[in-house]
Amino acid sequence: MEKIGIFGKKNSLVKYNLSSHKSLWTANLPHGQTPKAIAQYEDFLIVIDQNWAGTKNISCFNEKTGVLLWRYRYDFLCTWGIYFQPIFVKEHLIFKSGAAEFTKLCCKTGKIVYKKIIKHRRLFSFEKFDITYVGESLIAFSNKEIRKIDIESGNVEIDTELTEKFNVKGVTAHLGRGVSFISSISSFNQQLEDQAKSDAGAGAGAG
């Protein structure tokens, strides 16, 4: 079995055959950008890159050819403080894009299929939702309730039975179907790195 690896360094990605010692393809990133997280789903390669100023992009490449399929500025897809954790459903990815908002995007074209509100928040309400894929169902939950999401339309409604029978308070981590596992770990590592930089900056300022 051939040993294939995908490696990122400043300004580029490379798919490398470690058995034959040959580069299979090289893909360019915007100048000055360094890959911070790489995740694969089927033939789609999702990359989060960042430069020295903190500007980040989310890109999708064809894993077989290295061809760029689409690219967005990170802060266009996700609001401040939201970490990109895609859930892959067939040829689409769904991700939380705001405290109470989610987005469905086509992996092939990068087209945003819809951007929806999970629940309209009341004044002075700070309720936040997480999203997970369980079986063939997409659910959103806060520390108060569980809502079910129609994947095709994006319509959301409260799941009264689950809300009553499952205690959502105190949930700190979650995992539905395994298709989102690698992406979640990659995003979590990026989150830890960002937090470490933030803490270091705060410490330096305090000194």
Picking from 171, 143, 138, the residue whose alpha carbon sits closest to that of residue 157 is 138
- Residue spans of the domains in the chain: they are 1-77, 80-207
Q: Quick one: pLDDT band at residue 185, thresholds 50, 70, 90?
A: low
Q: For the segment 190-207, what is each residue's pLDDT rounded down to a tens digit?
A: 777 777 777 776 666 655
Mean pLDDT computed over every residue of the chain: 86
Q: For the segment 69-106, what is each residue's pLDDT rounded down to a tens digit?
A: 999 999 999 988 888 888 888 899 999 998 889 999 99
Q: Quick one: pLDDT band at residue 142, thresholds 50, 70, 90?
A: confident
List Cβ neighbours of 151 (8 Å cut-off, separation of 6 or more): 89, 94, 104, 138
CA distance 197 to 195: 5
What tokens appear for 141 in the block?
């939950």
What is the distance, to the nearest Å, from the Cα of residue 138 to the centroid of all Cα atoms in its chain?
15
| Fold held by 80-207 | Thrombin, subunit H (2.40.10)
Q: Quick one: pLDDT band at residue 120, thresholds 50, 70, 90?
A: confident
Q: Using a cut of 0.75, tell me whether the model's pTM lies above it.
A: yes
Q: Are the folds of 1-77 and 80-207 the same?
A: yes
1-77 CATH: 2.40.10.480
Q: For the segment 37-47, what is each residue's pLDDT rounded down to a tens digit?
A: 898 888 999 99
Q: For the sheet containing 112-117, what is the strand order?
A: 87-89, 92-98, 101-106, 112-117
